[in-house]
Amino acid sequence: MHKTLLLVFIHGFKGNDDTFATFPKHLQALVSNALPNISVTPLVYPKFETSGDLRKTVERFREWLQDRVIDIEVAQNTPSPTIDPSVHVILVGHSMGGIVAAETYLLLASEQPVPAASSSMNVETPNFPSNTTLTSTTGSSHPNPQQAVDTSVVLMFPHVQGVLAFDTPFLGLAPSMFASKVEDAHGYASTAYKTYTEAGKIFGWGGNNVAAAPSTAKALPAPSAARL
């Protein structure tokens, strides 16, 4: 079975489709050279709103990712994608995109895993989480639902094999900051303002609006006429 590695890139705060520039192609070339027997495909998640409900953002990204993976599995006629997937995923996030990547992984890992030894899905279609909408009929190799379930071997779908995060403040900024438009934080209480200031230092927000700190040094005296 041919294997595919998806490198999925997620931009950060105020980012867009061009945030990563040529980096996805560059990384694809390096990984392809290291793994010549695997198809390495870069995907850039389209621009999304970086304020609002983090959970909804994660859910939308997860749905988008699952659709992309299913498309590839169907094209490759994978018999049982959830049991023996041909597509594996590495999530690559910049800044707050790293938080979306990590939260997506945690969401997938926390859901009811797919048992590796049995399936209650429709045996006439591939073993996708929602196979009723697919038209593939490659179900001949599906496991028998009567087989015993080996609970020691389970998989998530899509199968996220790793997360790479660049400049992501996992420890320096609470993910809840994602849920509010911090550029309007000047109207918050002083505690919230301090949090906004910290975020500004991390992401470079509002740099032109920060007043210069007053100097404590006294100006030099004007030169006397005798020195002229």
Give domain status of residue 184, yes or no.
yes
CATH of the domain at 93: 3.40.50
pLDDT, residue 143, reads 43
The answer on 184 and 164 residing in a single domain is no
Give domain status of residue 173, yes or no.
no
Give domain status of residue 69, yes or no.
yes
Greater confidence, 189 or 30? 30
The answer on 89 and 51 residing in a single domain is yes
pLDDT band at 80 (very low <50, low <70, confident <90, very high): confident
Bridge partners (DSSP) of residue 217 are: none
The answer on 148 and 43 residing in a single domain is yes
pLDDT tens digits along 180-218: 544 443 343 344 444 444 544 444 444 444 444 444 445
Q: Which domain, by its residues, includes 24? A: 4-168
Give domain status of residue 57, yes or no.
yes
The answer on 163 and 191 residing in a single domain is no
CA 153 – CA 155 distance, rounded (Å): 7
Q: Is the model's pLDDT at 118 over the cut of 50?
A: no
Q: Is the model's pLDDT at 67 over the cut of 70?
A: yes
pLDDT, residue 50, reads 76
Q: Which of 45-49, 51-55, 213-217 has the lowest mean pLDDT?
A: 213-217
Number of structural domains in the chain: 2
The answer on 125 and 73 residing in a single domain is yes
CA 89 – CA 74 distance, rounded (Å): 16
pLDDT tens digits along 123-178: 344 555 544 344 444 444 444 444 444 444 557 889 999 999 998 888 765 656 55
CA 165 – CA 98 distance, rounded (Å): 5
Give domain status of residue 228, yes or no.
no
Give domain status of residue 159, yes or no.
yes
pLDDT, residue 1, reads 75
The answer on 185 and 87 residing in a single domain is no
